Structure 1
């Protein structure tokens, strides 16, 4: 019996217009959170003030977020949603909340994830919209009452360690000797130092095609899954979007988008980097993120029973291979990746894009 589903059904039914609502599951994310769609029925008029405040209409859909308190904390989501929305970022409105039970009733942005809407005719437009929203996020003032935590060296290191602990050792069963561990440590240090050298801005930390929704009404994407935001490197969210773990674009296209964003973020006063410096930041930041992502995908499969994420590991390794191959200082890592990790991944998970190109 799904006790959490019963709990959230009782909880949402207490609000005007939701007494007899249908509760329908919505695709989840890579966390313990679950999402359900509910509809406000025609008796919403009984709460005219609430309806006006939230733009409610007959049969309007909303989302219930189910975040078990023993696994998830809703407070960062609520705090950030309220602050970012007040500053003009298109995040969902919080309609009702019960933090103790881990339940939120929020605005519904629909099901049109950016990933599923891309085609040859609209990609530049949709990515342009996503980049414009990112620039808006990066210019946000910090909330004086609840400032974002820094993207600390310790956090960067813990994230990269996921690659070693979950992908290499647990998923692939690789035995790492002292030389391997020293090489990984040197690689992590170089990536951490590059990230720490960048100007800091608000960082969503998961800004990609599955966390942006194409919504009606305007061109701006709806932004979700932002509760882990920090103050961190200016290229982090950019590389998360342009070197997306779920979709890959030709390098020339990525570089054009990156340079366009460099110029717009330069004009906004977010950094003073020239093209070569910004690209180097971007490339090394991407490696840090893809080390983390590859480890998380393995952990999701092994610990959380979500094996479909294993399908995204080869693409993520492909990004690592391409980026490390352009870095002379990371030649030991690049060679080891191609000679040791890529073969192990390809035996079990499928071909790694670009790994065998000269």
Structure 2
């Protein structure tokens, strides 16, 4: 049975948590939910403000979020300050970064798109200059393959395709063998325009970094420049790759294809399992990115699998009139 989209009614234990942390009687207002079980509320107490994250411990382990926030802060990046937390209750009180996300800022003022993306590239390039965080695991082939498997596990059956799963895994094994393993940096894994905040002091704030792993720098670059949630033109993508500086084009294509295949599976799972239909609108864009990545010669085996098992009508065209 599909789960309903989480409501934005504060958890009943939130007022007691806030009171214990010095925020008695604070107003709790709905802010947002996301693709996980986490929910966010804006907390107001006179002139003070913060954001309350509700991350039910039976579904979400918030320790990686706390550790990565501390790491980013220690090396000079703007993660929300942690004001208080109770992991057993699944509640974390964090700094409020405001409402101006990069996605909306660029949509409202497209003349600033290039400059804003340039700043986001500068940030991720600066992060890549630091050694990978000591507390995170490795983004290795086993993780890449497990993520890519979301496509045959969720997407294929949802659109009525009976595919060769073993052949899919074999194709990815061959392609991932061409991926250079160096350098290894902190990979935020969801670095895109809806997770980057434009702060009042001109800095960029980072959100949604709890799943960070140590891996190839091309991954976060492709996450930003092949954004599932907003259109990034090929011209802007090319310009920002040049701004980043030398980057392994083979790694960029391989990790782009891996990420986009994963996202097609995730968005289908959000629809089928969790009842979050809004993600279906992004599928055609993700398909366009994926097909651009598959055109790279290093993706020959994976491209061949898609050509054999996924007809054109079951790709972007399918989502024009989703089931």
Query: Relative to structure 1, is the Cα distance of residues 131 and 160 closer, same or farther in structure 2, using a 3 angstrom cutoff?
Result: same
Q: Tell which deviates more after alignment, 316-325 or 154-163.
A: 316-325
Find the partner of 2:162 among 162, 175, 180: 175
Query: Relative to structure 1, is the Cα distance of residues 80 and 116 closer, same or farther in structure 2, using a 3 angstrom cutoff?
Result: same
Per-residue displacement from partner, 1:52-107 (whole Å, max 9, x unpaired)? xxxxxxx2320000000000011111111112101101100000011111110000
**1:311 Cα deviation (Å)?**
1.1
**1:4 Cα deviation (Å)?**
6.0
Give the match for residue 290 of structure 1.
Answer: 260
**1:299 Cα deviation (Å)?**
0.9
Find the partner of 2:245 among 236, 256, 262: 262
Give secondary structure in 1 for the equivalent of 2:33: coil
Give the match for residue 44 of structure 2.
Answer: 39
Give the match for residue 55 of structure 1.
Answer: none
Contact 2:141 2:176 in 1 (8 A): yes
Give the match for residue 228 of structure 2.
Answer: 245
Q: Report the RMSD for the aligned CA atoms in angstroms.
A: 2.4
Structure 1: runs of 5+ lacking an equivalent: 42-58, 264-272, 352-358
Q: How many residues align?
A: 314
Per-residue displacement from partner, 1:115-169 (whole Å, max 9, x unpaired)? 111133101111111111112222234455xx22111211111000001111112
Alpha-carbon distance between aligned partners in 2 of 1:2 and 1:245, rounded to the nearest angstrom: 25
Is 2:114 aligned against 1:127?
no
Give the match for residue 47 of structure 1.
Answer: none
Find the partner of 2:129 among 129, 133, 139: 139
> Which structure has the greater CA radius of gyration?
1
Alpha-carbon distance between aligned partners in 2 of 1:133 and 1:332, rounded to the nearest angstrom: 32
Give the match for residue 4 of structure 2.
Answer: none
Report 1 or 2 for greater relative contact order, CA contacts < 8 Å, sequence distance ≥ 6. 2
Give the match for residue 192 of structure 1.
Answer: 176
Contact 1:76 1:228 in 2 (8 A): yes
Per-residue displacement from partner, 1:177-232 (whole Å, max 9, x unpaired)? xxx435423431244224453421110010001111111112x2110100110100
Give secondary structure in 1 for the equivalent of 2:136: coil
Contact 2:171 2:301 in 1 (8 A): no
Give secondary structure in 1 for the equivalent of 2:239: helix
Query: Relative to structure 1, is the Cα distance of residues 336 and 95 closer, same or farther in structure 2, using a 3 angstrom cutoff?
Result: closer
Alpha-carbon distance between aligned partners in 2 of 1:127 and 1:3, rounded to the nearest angstrom: 35
Is 2:15 aligned against 1:9?
yes
**1:332 Cα deviation (Å)?**
6.9
Find the partner of 2:249 among 263, 274, 279: 279
Tell me the TM-score normalized by structure 1: 0.81
Is 2:34 aligned against 1:29?
yes
Alpha-carbon distance between aligned partners in 2 of 1:339 and 1:150, rounded to the nearest angstrom: 31
Alpha-carbon distance between aligned partners in 2 of 1:320 and 1:168, rounded to the nearest angstrom: 15
Query: Relative to structure 1, is the Cα distance of residues 293 and 2 closer, same or farther in structure 2, using a 3 angstrom cutoff?
Result: closer
Give the match for residue 266 of structure 1.
Answer: none
Give the match for residue 269 of structure 1.
Answer: none
Query: Relative to structure 1, is the Cα distance of residues 139 and 337 closer, same or farther in structure 2, using a 3 angstrom cutoff?
Result: same
Structure 2: runs of 5+ lacking an equivalent: 1-6
Find the partner of 1:210 among 179, 194, 202: 194
Per-residue displacement from partner, 1:266-290 (whole Å, max 9, x unpaired)? xxxxxxx6xxxx2222112100110
Give the match for residue 155 of structure 1.
Answer: 143
Alpha-carbon distance between aligned partners in 1 of 2:37 and 2:58, rounded to the nearest angstrom: 10
Alpha-carbon distance between aligned partners in 2 of 1:223 and 1:332, rounded to the nearest angstrom: 33
Alpha-carbon distance between aligned partners in 2 of 1:332 and 1:96, rounded to the nearest angstrom: 46
Query: Relative to structure 1, is the Cα distance of residues 22 and 232 closer, same or farther in structure 2, using a 3 angstrom cutoff?
Result: same
**1:331 Cα deviation (Å)?**
6.8
